[in-house]
Structure 1
Amino acid sequence: MPGPAADARQVPFRNAKEEIRARIEVSEGGGDPQRLGGRGQRQIVWRNVVLMSLLHLGAVYSLALIPKAKLLTLLWAYFCFLLSALGVTAGAHRLWSHRSYKAKLPLRIFLAVANSMAFQNDIFEWSRDHRVHHKYSETDADPHNARRGFFFSHIGWLFVRKHPDVIEKGRKLDLTDLLADPVVRFQRKYYKITVVLMCFVIPTLVPWCAWEESLWNSYFLASILRYTISLNISWLVNSAAHMYGNRPYDKHISPRQNPLVTLGAIGEGFHNYHHTFPFDYSASEFGLNFNPTTWFIDLMCWLGLATDRKRATKPMIKARKARTGDGST
C-alpha cells in the first residue's frame, strides 16, 4: 500500500481531458528526463529520509508518554487509527482502486475524510500506484517491488524517486473513473489542507478540549504515534505479506496469506487471495472472519450506503486452489 509521496513535486490535478492529453504527450516523447533520471539510477529523496526519521523518532518518544496519558486519550488514538485505516482499506483500496463495490455520496465523502487522516497520498495517486502494483507486481514497474528486499518494499521505496517504469506504466492506465468522481477531485485539490486538519489538528485538539488532556500528550499520542503505527502496518502489506506466509490460491505469485498482517491491517493480510481475486470486495475467502473492513462494508450495505459487492464464487475459488495453489489451507 502506498505512503506519503516520494516525489518532491506532486503533479497538479488535471481534469479527464487534460490527463488524457498529458499521457499522449508523454507517449510522443514528452516527460521530464531530469525528473525521471537514468533508468538504472536511484535518486534519494533526502526530504523524505529526514521527515520519516524525525517521525519515527517522535513515535519512539511518544511511547514514554503512554503511562502519563488519560485512558480516553489512548482510546481516542485507537479510534483515529481505525478511522484512518478504513479510509485506506474500505476507501482507497477496495472502493477506488479495485471498484469491488459501489458507494453513495455520503459514504464516499466519509471515506475521503478518513483517507486524509491516513495521510498516505490522495485517493487518485494511491489508487493509480496500487493499480500499477497489481498489474506489474514484482517488476520494476511495481512502486514497492518486493524483489528488491524487505526494507525497500516496506519503507525504502519512499526514500528514492520512482523507477521510470512506474511512472511510464502509471500514465498508460485508464484512470477516467477516478477523475470522474467529484469526491476524488475535491480531495486531491485540497489534500494538503485536509491532511493538516484530519491527520494532525483534529486528533490533537479533541483530547485537549474534550477531557483536558495536555496538548503535548494529545499531539504525540493521537497524531504522531498513531500515524506512525498506521503507516507501518499498511507497509507490512507491501513487505511481510509479500514474503512470509502460505500461498493456497496461487503459488506462482509472491503475495502470501499472513495472519499477523491481517490482524493489524483490519483484514488486508489475505494477500495471496487478494492478488488472485482482486475484484472481491472482501479481499478474503472467509468473508467476515478476521476482516473488520468487510464488516464495515457490509454494514454500509445494510444501511443503504453501499451496493453491488463483487465476490468470487466458491466453485471459482475451489478450482483455482486445485489448479495453482500450494496445497495449504
Structure 2
Amino acid sequence: MVPPSTAALANVLEISTQECKIDHVKVLEAKPNIKNSQKSASRGEYKCFLGSFKTPLIWTNIIGLIILHLGAIYGLTTHDYINKWKTVIYGFILGGISGFGVTGGAHRYWTHKCFKAKLPLKIILLVCYSVAGQNTLKEWVRDHRVHHKFSETDADPHNSKRGFWFSHVGWLCMKKHPDVLRKGKTVDMTDIMSDPLIAFHVRYWMIFKLIFCFIIPTLIPPYFWGETWKTAILCNCFVRYCLLLNFTWSVNSFAHIWGNKPYEKDIKPVENKFVSLVAMGEGWHNYHHSFPWDYRAAEMGKFLNCTTLWLDLFSKIGWAYDLKTTSPKLIRTMIEKHGDGSHETMRSRKKLSH
C-alpha cells in the first residue's frame, strides 16, 4: 500500500467534517498527528521497569495497586466459586454496569459527544461510572481528549511508545510528563466544566465512589443471599474492581500494540478482539481513532460490542438520540487508501484478483 499523500488525507478529512459536522476538537482527532507521532516518545528516562528513569514515582499509587492485585489474586485462588454461583453472576452484572459507565458514559458520551442523552440516561451513566470507581469525570475526559489529540507523543498520558507496562498501568505510578500537563491545558473542557450535573458529581466524587463502588455493592450479597462478608469484600472490592481496571487499561496497552490496522496504518491503535470482549466493544481501536465521533466505536455494530447494544436500546426509548455514525463511503475510502489491507473487503478483493 502507498502511504496517503497530504492531499488525500486532507480530502478524507474534508469529507468527514462535512458528513458528521463535528466540532473543532473532533476534526483534530480525526487527523492523525503524524509529525508528532514520529517524535521519540522517551528521552532516555524510562529504560526499564525498576530504574533508569527520571520521573518521580507516586508510591501511594504503587502500594495501593500492589495491595489491590494481591487481594484480587488471593480472592480468585482461595474461594469455591462453583458453589458461590450467585456471587459470580452478581460480579458479572456489576462488572457490566461499571463497564458501561466507562465505555458508554465517560468515553463515548462525555469525551467524544457521540450522542445526546436525556436526563434519566445521564443519571444512569453517572451512577454506572460511580460504580466503576475510577478518576473524576473531569480527569478522565481531559486525559482521553489529550490522548486523542496528541496520541503517541510525550503529551499522551499513556503513550504506548514507552512500552506495554507504561501504557497499561505504569503511567498511573509516576508523575505525568510535563508535556501532558502543558498540552492538557490546551484541550477544550468548557462543555464538561459548564455542566452543573458533572460539577456536582466531581465535587462529591469521593463520596459517590465510596458509596456506589464499594459500600452498596459489598452490602448486597450478605443481605440478599447470605454471602459471607469476607467473600463479599474480596469479590467486590478486590476481584471485581481489579479486573475492571485492567480491562479499561487494556484499551491503552493491548489495543495500541497488538492487532491489525484496516482503516489507518500510520497510527498505533489496532483492532483487538480480546480487548473488545473484556472492554465491552472498546477494542476496535483503529476504527475508533480513525472515526472518533462514531457512537459505535466500531464498524460491525453489536458484534463484541455490548456498549453499542445498550446505547441502541436506550435509543429506542428516546433517552439516547442524535447518535453519530460514519458513512459507508468514508469508511470505504479510508480502507482503500489508508488501511493495511487487512479489512475483509480488501482480502476478498485480493482473492478475486487471483
TM-score interval, normalised by the smaller of the two chains: 0.7 to 0.9
Structure 1 residue runs of 5 or longer lacking an equivalent are 1-37
Structure 2 residue runs of 5 or longer lacking an equivalent are 1-44, 46-52, 344-354
Q: For the Cα contact (< 8 Å) 1:44–1:161, is it kept in 2?
A: yes
> Residues 217-269 of structure 1: CA distance to partner in whole angstroms, max 9, x if unpaired?
00101221000001001111000100000000000000000011101101000
Correspondence list, 1:52-201, <5 A: 52-67=65-80, 70-201=84-215
1:304 is aligned with what amino acid?
G
> Residues 159-191 of structure 1: CA distance to partner in whole angstroms, max 9, x if unpaired?
001111111111111111111222211110110
Correspondence list, 1:222-261, <5 A: 222-261=236-275
Aligned counterparts of 1:44 and 1:230: Cα–Cα separation in 2 = 23
Aligned counterparts of 1:77 and 1:271: Cα–Cα separation in 2 = 26
User: How many residue pairs align between the two structures?
Assistant: 291
Sequence identity (%): 47
2:64 to 51, 54, 61: 51
Residue of structure 2 equivalent to 1:212: 226
Length-normalised TM-score, structure 2:
0.81
Residue of structure 1 equivalent to 2:19: none
3-state SS in 1 of match to 2:175: coil
How far did residue 64 of structure 1 move?
2.8
Length-normalised TM-score, structure 1:
0.87
Q: For the Cα contact (< 8 Å) 1:65–1:221, is it kept in 2?
A: no
How far did residue 65 of structure 1 move?
4.1
2:245 is aligned with what amino acid?
L
3-state SS in 1 of match to 2:303: coil
How far did residue 66 of structure 1 move?
3.4
Residue of structure 1 equivalent to 2:349: none
Aligned counterparts of 1:221 and 1:290: Cα–Cα separation in 2 = 25
Residue of structure 2 equivalent to 1:264: 278
| Structure label with greater radius of gyration | 2
3-state SS in 1 of match to 2:80: helix
Residue of structure 2 equivalent to 1:20: none
1:55 is aligned with what amino acid?
L
3-state SS in 2 of match to 1:67: coil
1:202 is aligned with what amino acid?
I
Aligned counterparts of 2:65 and 2:143: Cα–Cα separation in 1 = 20
> Residues 49-83 of structure 1: CA distance to partner in whole angstroms, max 9, x if unpaired?
00000000000000134315621111111111000
